[in-house]
Amino acid sequence: MKTTRWIPAAVLAVACTVFPAARAQGPAAITGIAHVAVRVSDLDKEVNFLGKLGFEEAFANTSGATTLLVQVKVNDRQFIEVYPQTTPPQPLGWMHVCYEADDVNNLNAMYKSNGLNPTAVAKTVSGNLIFSLAGPEGRVSEFMQYMPGSRHALDRGQHLGENRIAGSLLGLNLPVADVPAARQFYVRLGFSAEDSEGTVHLTAPDAADLRIDLHPAGPHQAAQVLLPVADARKAADVLRHAGLAVDKEDKLVFVNDPDGNAFVLIQTGPGEGLLHKVPFVH
């Protein structure tokens, strides 16, 4: 899969941005990213790649002898979902982002009252509550509430690789065909939007560290996953030592998985990077 590397100017400011404290907005609010999902040509190669970033497989969802997806753990609240190719084949690469909420039923009701059309809240095979919503370009966003006793909750404190290159998912760069329409959609989801040189920077009041940027789509551009690190130079050295090809530009480190999906490591200063852990709180 061929992709074009890009990074909006707004994201370059992440490294020197002090995030404001989260403002309590009640239960009907996005509180962070629960997972990002990609479809890959080879599950083993992808899990091995993510392992070189220090992220461990937590568990897999299966049906008989078939693996439906692999849950790779970033921290106790954030995962990378890896889906295999299907028959007939589906497009490889970026699939969706799933946001976390404390009460998806209230969030679902709020979206309906805002004129959106979310799916009904359902229980996943892993034991959490979830619903989804399609944006103006058909891109699906999911919204999940972690539940006690779910496979994610039972994995608390486990599969937290000591050599994780980053301790959290910072956010995403999303190329969109219609920036104003996408901006309006995300504002209706509860994001705050700030315009900067053609890019829309999104933040969520109840997720102070969450960063999403909407960028005009160009040829071969796909979503980029953003990971915060304490030191870009050291992060690049770690990945090169693991045998990965990286490209470092100032405070940014670019690395692609076997299918060309882009991960961008952004130097945000002390408090992020190796051994940084985010606790799972019910």
Picking from 70, 72, 68, 98, the residue whose alpha carbon sits closest to that of residue 86 is: 68
Alpha carbon separation from 9 to 12, 14, 192, 201 (Å, rounded): 5, 9, 18, 10
User: Over pLDDT 70: what percentage of the chain?
Assistant: 86
Q: How far apart are CA 73 and CA 35, in angstroms?
A: 9
Q: What is the mean pLDDT of residues 270-281?
A: 38
Q: Could you report how far apart the first and last alpha carbons of the chain are, in Å?
A: 39
Whether domain 30-154 has CATH 3.10.180.10: yes
* 3: pLDDT strictly greater than 50: no
CATH topology of domain 9-17+161-267: 2,3-Dihydroxybiphenyl 1,2-Dioxygenase; domain 1 (3.10.180)
Per-residue confidence (pLDDT) for residue 279, from 0 to 100: 29
Q: How far apart are CA 70 and CA 83, in angstroms?
A: 7
Burial class (CB in 10 A: 0-12, 13-18, 19+), 151: middle
Pick left, alpha or beta for residue 198 (phi over 0 → left; psi -120 to 50 → alpha; otherwise beta).
Answer: left
* 135: pLDDT strictly greater than 80: yes
List, for residues 209-261, the tens digit of each pLDDT value. Answer: 899 999 999 877 889 999 999 999 999 999 999 999 999 999 999 999 999 99
List, for residues 186-197, the tens digit of each pLDDT value. Answer: 999 999 999 998
Can you tell me whether residue 233 is helix, strand or coil?
helix
Per-residue confidence (pLDDT) for residue 219, from 0 to 100: 79
- 9-17+161-267 and 30-154 share one fold: yes
- Tell me if 83 sits within 8 A of 38, measured CB to CB: yes
Q: Where are the domains of the chain?
A: 9-17+161-267, 30-154
Continuous segment of H or E residues that includes residue 93: strand 93-101
Continuous segment of H or E residues that includes residue 52: helix 43-52
Per-residue confidence (pLDDT) for residue 43, from 0 to 100: 96
Q: How far apart are CA 32 and CA 206, in angstroms?
A: 8
- Say which residue the tokens 């050295």 belong to: 237
Can you tell me whether residue 11 is helix, strand or coil?
helix
Can you tell me whether residue 122 is helix, strand or coil?
strand
Continuous segment of H or E residues that includes residue 37: strand 30-40
pTM above 0.85, yes or no: yes
Q: How far apart are CA 281 and CA 145, in angstroms?
A: 12
